[in-house]
Amino acid sequence: MVDYESAVVSSRPHAGDADLTLRDDSATVKLLVRSDRVQFDGLRFGRSMRLGDALVAATRPDEWLLLGDAAAVNDAAATIDTDGFTSVIPFTHGRSLFRLTGEAAVELLAKECNLDWSDPMMPDGAVVSAAVASVTCDVIRTDVDDAPSYLLVSDRSFGQYLFDALLDAGEEFGIGVLPAG
């Protein structure tokens, strides 16, 4: 696992003092499901839901990403209809996962991506694919304690670059880095 926190400069505010935080959640279990069958109670493209303790995101038509700890993802995976053309692919080590949280997250993402991040266009539970800092990402909004929070999933090979780009873009907002989750 890449230690993205090693890129953190000591002059950054303590994460507990920051209104905007970034955390490396890359160790979170990730499972990709592709299927021609209806899955996860018909969860439609562009939305996410909780299934037990797992997060399920419909990242593309007929494609879902399951996120969580191993037990939660295994429980959610047990509900998959494996008939038809269905693939279940472990994705944990192939993808980076970062959580960006705080009121300024919307402004930071607007600097790094040309999508409309406002609540009507990207409400809690929404899922989009976008180039963030020129890196193709799946972005899942999952608010934390009523604060906007976004999960950014990208190819692991771009992880360090994306982490650094988010830190750089967040400097004007006083971004803090939380310990890896």
Q: Does residue 122 contact residue 116 with C-beta atoms inside 8 Å?
A: yes
pLDDT at position 76: 97
Global confidence as pTM: 0.91
Residues 6 or more apart in contact with residue 96 via CB below 8 angstroms: 2, 4, 24, 26, 152, 153, 154, 155, 156, 158, 159, 162, 163
Which run of H or of E encompasses 156? none
Which residue ranges form the domains of the chain, and what is each CATH number?
A: 15-26+94-178 (3.30.1360.120), 29-92 (no CATH)
- Paired with 128 in beta bridges are 139
Task: Tell me how far CA of residue 93 lies from CA of 1, 26, 153, 169, in angstroms.
Answer: 8, 8, 12, 26
CA–centroid distance for 143 within its chain: 11
Phi then psi dihedrals of residue 17, to 5 deg: -95, -10
CA–centroid distance for 23 within its chain: 11
pLDDT at position 181: 75
DSSP per residue, 25-84: -TTSEEEEEEESS--GGGPPTTBEEEETTEEEEEEETTEEEEEE-HHHHHHHHTT---SS
What is the residue-level pLDDT of the chain in tens, covering all 181 positions? 445 555 444 344 445 557 999 999 999 999 999 999 999 998 999 999 999 999 999 999 999 999 999 999 999 999 999 988 999 999 999 999 999 999 999 999 999 999 999 999 999 999 999 999 999 999 999 999 999 999 999 999 999 999 999 999 999 999 999 998 7
